[in-house]
Amino acid sequence: RKEVEQDPGPFNVPEGATVAFNCTYSNSASQSFFWYRQDCRKEPKLLMSVYSSGNEDGRFTAQLNRASQYISLLIRDSKLSDSATYLCVAAGGATNKLIFGTGTLLAVQP
Amino acid sequence: EAQVTQNPRYLITVTGKKLTVTCSQNMNHEYMSWYRQDPGLGLRQIYYSMNVEVTDKGDVPEGYKVSRKEKRNFPLILESPSPNQTSLYFCASRYGLAGWDEQFFGPGTRLTVL
């Protein structure tokens, strides 16, 4: 079983739609959580950290449920420029090593 | 501009021919690491370094070596590349070991071993 699991998609949504991605992690000792965005053939970039209380950054909302070991990302009012792969990340251990999910591909259609 | 650079960006080589992929960061970060990314497997850590002269194995270290003689540089060495090392490689750095330190990635090196 992968340490961080995501639905690979693709999610094909029209512009303006709301889309939600889910992710589960297996290591209950994980302490920090993130969503990274990766455009095709480019490097991953931090989209947002995920806090226990949930957090919002513009059209993006991230939630963490430690009891269920579940992380989510909600994107409202999707834009064409949101098309990318979204990587769920859990970190923990002595070096806070990042464990990446395989990513969920989002394609926003005009 | 704060960044992580890697060279070369693309490389096609043959089995057994030693190669080095360079990585450099200008952010004075202590922690650096190398990942490979393969379809269906995601990003997997190869090696990491917590500071100068301190390196350790990640999840998939076989067939790779690294060194950290200076804080800014963290080269990845393939002594005898094999076709199963064909992959997309990313170097990354972050300030320290704190859970919330953002990790910055280089632009990637696409390696093909024939």
Inter-chain residue contact B99 with A94, CB threshold 8 Å: no
In this prediction, residues B75-99 reach a mean pLDDT of 94
> Average pLDDT, whole number, for chain B?
95
Contact between chains at B45 and A101 (C-beta distance less than 8 A): no
**A33 has which bridge partners?**
A50, A90
Give dist(CA A14, CA A12) in Å, integer.
Answer: 7
- On the CB side of B42, CA atoms within 13 Å amount to 25
Tell me what pLDDT residue A1 has: 74
pLDDT at A14: 98
pLDDT band at residue B26 under the 50/70/90 scheme: very high
CA distance A30 to chain B (A): 10
Which chain B residue shows the shortest CA-CA distance from A34?
Answer: B100
Q: Determine what percent of chain B is predicted with pLDDT higher than 90.
A: 89
Position A97 scores a pLDDT of: 87
Q: What is the mean pLDDT of each run of 10 residues along chain A (110 residues)?
A: 89 97 92 95 94 91 94 97 97 86 96
Give the angle subtended at the CA of A86 by the CAs of A71 and B84, to the nearest 5°: 110
The pLDDT score that the predictor gives to residue A70 is 94
Check B99 against A98: CB less than 8 A apart: no
Of A42, A94, A98, the CB nearest to B103: A98
Cβ–Cβ contact B34 with A under 8 A: no
C-alpha dist (Å) from residue A45 to A73, A86, B12, B33, B107: 15, 10, 26, 15, 10
